[in-house]
Structure 1
Amino acid sequence: MSATYKRLDKDDAVLLMVDHQSGLISLVQDFSPDEFRNNVLALADIGVFFELPTILTTSFDAGPNGPIVPEMLDRFPDAPFIRRPGQINAWDNEDFVKAIKATGRKQLIIAGVVTDVCVSFPALSAIEDGYDVFVVTDASGTFNKTVQQAAWQRMSSAGVQLMNWFSVACELHRDWRNDMEGLGALLSNHLPNYRNLMTSYTKLQEAKKE
């Protein structure tokens, strides 16, 4: 039996940035530090570009997990920020779930640290509660590739859709004619090779005007 294609809808999606904290990020070994930072900020910029309701959360940030990375607060100064006092699974925090329900949306885009715990646990809980869940694999990190693959398999088996930040952007956008320059600029900021495409495109547009 073939599965139904549930595509992301910018009018029904919520972005959940889970435990991108200074201490926890030091545990990420399945991506290089620069690569991971770029991926996380790319996803955050997607949230801003598409004006997605965004919810930030941290776990025990007064302890070794550390504070949320400042870039999250810079990009989402008005977003609900749920500082969990101890719950490992964000779904166990009543304020976090209330913030999600308050949006009235049913598609959850989740990224966080670490993949096998801070991402997997709320993703699986949300699936159980009837949400459509999309985990952004390259904006989530963990100890090593073995742990990464096991976490991905566990979530995928439960019905979570696994995506990367680039595919999230494209599926939300749907049609280049919506705003080619806007999305192109976002992609160029996070994909150096894409900047070459945009440079070529800009030159062609300028030539047409001459």
Structure 2
Amino acid sequence: MLNPHTSLVALIDVQERLAQVMSDRERLVENLRRLIRGAQVLNLPVVWAEQNPERLGPTVPELRALLEGHRPVAKMTFNCWADPGFRRAIEATGRHQVLLAGIETHVCIYQTAVAMQAEGCEVEVVADAVSSRSPEHKQLALTKLLSLGVRPTCVEMALFELLQTAEAPAFREILSLVK
């Protein structure tokens, strides 16, 4: 089970040029917005990465606006865990349960999940908050990750798992995010 004291969200490469060509872009961005807002309500750290931002542009404005006060980790590696800045940002949180979200599922999400899990992190891929250009590539990556022991989740499942009880102070706010 996810624990609100040991979990974090890693947002990967949801940049303007990449996001334009993703399958079901609007749903992806809306689910990412819900996940980020939920993480903020639950006081989870959000570590944010951008792939080659000079060429691919910044994170989409809908999400960038939620992340004011944070700085993305600029990277060139597909496997985010191989980037020293990203790795330091994750390790600095002191948390080991990672909710991976972003794009592309079959490239950066896949490689990062495999590498992080191999190093002892508990990784869950937020299936409704990841995308690829083709739905087939996304599904192939999720299937392969599952076979390697990386668990899938969805935004609503993860947020309620982190919330733990309807008596939690954040219950109503989380409920309003998922409705």
- Tell me the TM-score normalized by structure 1: 0.80
Q: CA deviation at 1:119?
A: 0.6
User: In structure 2, the residue corresponding to 1:135 is in which secondary structure?
Assistant: strand
Q: CA deviation at 1:80?
A: 4.5
Q: Which among 169, 173, 185 is matched to residue 159 of structure 2? A: 169
For 2:41, the equivalent position in structure 1 comes to: 49
Structure 2 residue identity aligned to 1:58:
E
**Does 2:63 correspond to 1:72?**
yes
- Tell me the TM-score normalized by structure 2: 0.94
Question: Structure 2 vs 1, CA of residues 146 and 73 (structure 1 numbering), >3 Å: closer, same or farther?
Answer: closer
Contact between 1:111 and 1:119, CA under 8 Å: does it hold in 2? yes
Contact between 2:29 and 2:63, CA under 8 Å: does it hold in 1? no
Of Structure 1 and Structure 2, the greater strand share is in 2
For 1:155, the equivalent position in structure 2 comes to: 145
Q: How many residues align?
A: 178
For 2:7, the equivalent position in structure 1 comes to: 13
Aligned pairs (5 A) from 1:1-210: 7-29=1-23, 32-63=24-55, 65-84=56-75, 86-179=76-169, 180-188=171-179
Distance 1:82 1:72 in 2: 15
Fraction of identical pairs, as percent: 24
- What residue ranges of structure 1 are gaps of 5+ in the alignment? 1-6, 189-210
Q: CA deviation at 1:156?
A: 0.9
Distance 2:102 2:8 in 1: 14
Distance 2:96 2:81 in 1: 15
Question: Structure 2 vs 1, CA of residues 101 and 80 (structure 1 numbering), >3 Å: closer, same or farther?
Answer: farther
Distance 1:186 1:153 in 2: 28
Which 4+ runs in 1 deviate beyond 4 A? none
- What residue ranges of structure 2 are gaps of 5+ in the alignment? none
Moved more, 177-186 or 130-139: 177-186
User: In structure 2, the residue corresponding to 1:139 is in which secondary structure?
Assistant: strand
Q: CA deviation at 1:99?
A: 0.8
Contact between 1:48 and 1:75, CA under 8 Å: does it hold in 2? no
Structure exhibiting the larger radius of gyration computed from Cα positions? 1
Contact between 2:11 and 2:49, CA under 8 Å: does it hold in 1? yes
What's the C-alpha RMSD, in Å, of the aligned pairs? Answer: 1.3
Contact between 1:53 and 1:79, CA under 8 Å: does it hold in 2? no
Distance 1:91 1:112 in 2: 15
Contact between 2:126 and 2:153, CA under 8 Å: does it hold in 1? yes
Distance 2:138 2:98 in 1: 20
